[in-house]
Chain A
Amino acid sequence: MNTTSIYTTLNGESFALSDLESDERQLISDLIIRQRAASSWSAFANDYMRQLGEFYKSRGISRKSIIELPLWKIASDLKSRMMVRAGDALPPDYRDSLGTIIRSDYPTQKAFCDATGLTEDLVSHVLARRKHLAIDTLSEALRRIGYRLAIVPIEKV
């Protein structure tokens, strides 16, 4: 988590803090202080949802839109880091990324399977964490849909 200019989430999403308005940057600083002081991740979750809800409500932004904003994603990530540190959650892995691609790029899991050449049975097992994909199988499936594997540093929690 580099908060000086770029904030990178456990999911690998990056946000340039300079793109945010000054009061949004101030709110992030406040949230980081509150996260450090929070007694538990659920207490922090209740806190940031209330804070961001009030902050953006005053700007007339709907709740559906708020969850797409960088500030919300950063706050969610701060909570996720607490959960991972506590051993209550695992950091996301390639199976989460596959799930995201399926939901965002394909109408159905079957459409994803047709495009990648993977069988529906195998994809179901992988998404349910019962099986892993071999690297060459994963690489070839991703290549077919315009993605590739990358080796990136692990985000510190």
Chain B
Amino acid sequence: MPNDVIVECSFLIPMTRDALLSDGQPHSSKEWEKLDDTLFAKFLGGTSAPGLYSGFYADPHTGQRVSDQSKKFIVAVPRFQLDELRQLLIEACDWFCQKCIYLSIAGNVEFIQKP
């Protein structure tokens, strides 16, 4: 597939910091601003989906089921920029105090975490 093909990517940012890595509180508005700035500067098209997405996952450290609410972002990304999006989400794991971030690239799911 050519590198300039644009693929639809979406990712979920939980509305609160991880309770084990951090304090389980909502993020600072500054972190959301950082995400908006980076998405706008690096990628040509994106949108924040309305409302929140409720979900659950097994915590990789404790194995316990964790329920959360997340904000969904949809970004149009040329294939050659996919690694830039992955890199951004690795940084976002730090900004938002998350163990991993759910990323869907044209329907294929990846869990992005710090190496």
Query: Residues on A close to B: CB < 8 A?
Result: 10-11, 40, 42-43, 45-46, 49, 53, 63-64, 66-67, 72, 76-77, 79-81, 83-84, 87-93, 95-96, 99-100, 128-130
A130 touches B29 (CB 8 A): no
Q: Is the pair A129, B17 in contact by a Cβ cutoff of 8 Å?
A: yes
Set of chain B residues within 8 Å of A40, measured between Cβ atoms: 50-51
User: What's the dominant secondary structure at chain B's contact region?
Assistant: mixed
* A67 & B40 in contact (Cβ 8 Å cutoff): yes
Docked pose: A5 CA to B97 CA in angstroms: 37
**Chain B interface residue count: which class?**
20 to 34
Complex Cα spacing A76 to B48, Å? 14
Given contacts A45-B48, A128-B97, contact A88 B33 (CB under 8 A): no
Which of chain B's residues have a CB closer than 8 A to the CB of A67? 37, 40-41
B-side residues, CB < 8 A to A, are 15, 17, 21-23, 25-33, 36-37, 40-41, 46-51, 71, 97
Q: How many residue pairs between the two chains, A and B, have CB atoms under 8 Å in the bound complex? A: 79
Residues of chain B within 8 A (CB-CB) of A49 are 36, 40, 46
Q: How far is the CA of A99 from the CA of B27 in the complex (A)?
A: 14
- Known: A40-B50, A42-B71, A129-B25. Is A83-B32 also a contact (CB below 8 A)? yes
8 A-B pairs in the complex with CB atoms less than 8 angstroms apart: A79-B32, A88-B26, A89-B27, A90-B26, A92-B28, A92-B30, A100-B30, A129-B23
5 A-B pairs closest in CB distance: A80-B29, A42-B48, A89-B29, A96-B30, A92-B30
Q: Give the shortest distance, in Å, between B94 (CB) and chain A (any CB).
A: 8
A79–B97 Cα gap in the complex (Å)? Answer: 21
Closest CB-CB distance, A8 to chain B, in whole Å? 14
Q: Is A76 within 8 A of B33, CB to CB?
A: yes
Instruction: Known contacts A63-B41, A64-B41, A80-B29; decide if A88 and B15 are in contact (CB<8 Å).
Output: yes
